[in-house]
Amino acid sequence: MTSSSSGSCRFADYFVLAGIDTDSGLEPDELSGENFDQSPLRRTFKSKVLAHYPQNVEYNPFDQDAVNMLCMPKGLSFRTQAESRDPLFHSFLITREDGSRTYGFVLTFYEEVTCKQICSAMQTLYQMHNVEQYSSVYASSSCSMDSLASSIDEGDSTSLAKLQRYNSYDISRDTLYVSKCICLITPLPFMQACRKFLLQLHKAVSSQQPPPLPLESYIHNVLYEVPLPPPGRSLKFSGVYGPVICQRPGLTELPLFDFPLREAFELLGLENLVQLFTCVLLEMQILLYSQDYQRLMTVAEGITTLLFPFQWQHVYVPILPASLLHFLDAPVPYLMGLQSKEPNDRSKLELPQEANLCFVDIDNHFIELPEDFPQFPNKLEFIQEISEVLLHFGIPPEGNLHCSESATKLKNLVLDDLVNDKKNGNLTANTINMYELLKGNETLARLQALAKRTGVTVEKMEIAPPPAAAKEKDTKCQCSEEELRDYKLTVQLREVFANRFTQMFADYEAFVIQPTQDMDSWLTNREQMQNFDKASFLSDQPEPYLPFLSHFIETQMFATFIDNKIVSLWEEKDPLLRVFDSRIEKMKIYSVRIPTLRSSNYQKCTVLKEAAQAIEQRLVKIDHTAIHPHLLDMKIGQGKYEQGFFPKLQSDVLSTGPTNNNRWANRSATAQRRKDRLRQHSEHLALDNDLKEKYIQEARSIGKNLRQPKLSDLSPAVIAQTNWKFVEGLLKECRIKTKRMLVEKMGHEAVELGHGEANITGLEENTLIASLCDLLERIWSHGLLIKQGKSALWSHLLHYQESEEKREAMVETPGEQMSLYKKRPSLAAGPERRRSDSGLNLPTLRVSLIHDMRHVQHMSEIKTDVGRARAWIRLSLEKKVLSQQLKQLMFNQALIKKLYKRYAFLRCEDEKEQFLYHLLSLNAVDYFCFTSVFTTIMIPYRAVIIPIKKLSNSITTSNPWISVSGELGDTGVMQVPKNVLEMTFECQNLGKLTTVQIGHDNSGLLAKWLVDCVMVRNEITGHTYRFPCGRWLGKGVDDGSLERILVGELITPVVEEDLSKQCRTPPQLRSPTVTRRLSITSLGGKTGKPNAGQIQEGIGESINNIVKHFHKPEKERGSLTILLCGEYGLVSALEQVFHHGFKSARLFQKNVFIWDFIEKAVTYFETAEEDEESQENLLQLKACSATFCQYVNAITAAPRNIGKDGKLQLLVCLGARDHLLPQWIPLLAECPVISRMYEDGALLRDHATVNSLIRVLQTLHEFNITLEASLVKGIDL
pLDDT digits 0-9 by tens, 649-668: 877 788 777 665 444 444 44
Any bridge partners for residue 946, and if so which? Answer: 1013
How far apart, in whole angstroms, are the C-alpha atoms of residue 1166 and residue 1184?
12
| 1112 vs 1210: which has the higher pLDDT | 1210
Is residue 430 predicted with pLDDT exceeding 70? no
- Helices first, then strands: H and E counts in the chain: 44, 24
Highest mean pLDDT among 464-473, 987-996, 1043-1052: 987-996
Instruction: Give the pLDDT confidence score for residue 478 in this predicted structure.
Output: 66
pLDDT digits 0-9 by tens, 555-590: 889 988 998 998 888 888 888 899 999 988 888 887
Single-letter amino acid code for the residue at 730? L
How far apart, in whole angstroms, are the C-alpha atoms of residue 141 and residue 496?
62
How far apart, in whole angstroms, are the C-alpha atoms of residue 548 and residue 542?
11
* Closest of 163, 81, 86, 91 to residue 127, by C-alpha: 163
pLDDT digits 0-9 by tens, 107-118: 999 988 888 888
How far apart, in whole angstroms, are the C-alpha atoms of residue 137 and residue 133?
6
pLDDT digits 0-9 by tens, 541-551: 888 888 899 88
pLDDT digits 0-9 by tens, 731-787: 777 777 777 777 666 655 444 443 333 344 566 777 788 888 888 888 888 888 876
Highest mean pLDDT among 431-440, 516-525, 820-829: 516-525
Q: Name the percent of the chain lying above pLDDT 90.
A: 16
How far apart, in whole angstroms, are the C-alpha atoms of residue 899 and residue 120?
46
Instruction: Give the pLDDT confidence score for residue 425 in this predicted structure.
Output: 39
How far apart, in whole angstroms, are the C-alpha atoms of residue 127 and residue 537?
71
Any bridge partners for residue 828, and if so which? Answer: 846
Instruction: Give the pLDDT confidence score for residue 8 in this predicted structure.
Output: 67
Cis peptide before 230 (omega within 30 of 0): no
Q: How far is CA 249 from the centre of its chain?
A: 33
Q: Name the percent of the chain lying above pLDDT 70.
A: 73
How far apart, in whole angstroms, are the C-alpha atoms of residue 328 and residue 351?
7
Instruction: Give the pLDDT confidence score for residue 1060 in this predicted structure.
Output: 39
836-841 contact pairs (CB < 8 A, 24+): 836/946, 836/948, 836/1012, 836/1013, 837/948, 837/949, 837/950, 837/1012, 838/946, 838/947, 838/948, 838/949, 838/954, 838/1012, 839/949, 840/944, 840/945, 840/946, 840/947, 840/981, 840/982, 841/944, 841/946, 841/1015
pLDDT category at 166 given cuts 50, 70, 90 is low
The dihedral over CA atoms of 872, 878, 883, 889, expressed in degrees to the nearest 10, equals: -20
Is residue 493 predicted with pLDDT exceeding 90? yes
Report the chain's mean pLDDT, rounded to a whole number. 76
Mean predicted confidence (pLDDT) in 459-481: 51
Q: What is the CA radius of gyration of the chain?
A: 39
Q: What is the DSSP letter of 427?
A: -
Is residue 404 predicted with pLDDT exceeding 50? no
pLDDT digits 0-9 by tens, 37-66: 677 777 878 889 999 988 888 888 888 888
Is residue 182 predicted with pLDDT exceeding 70? yes
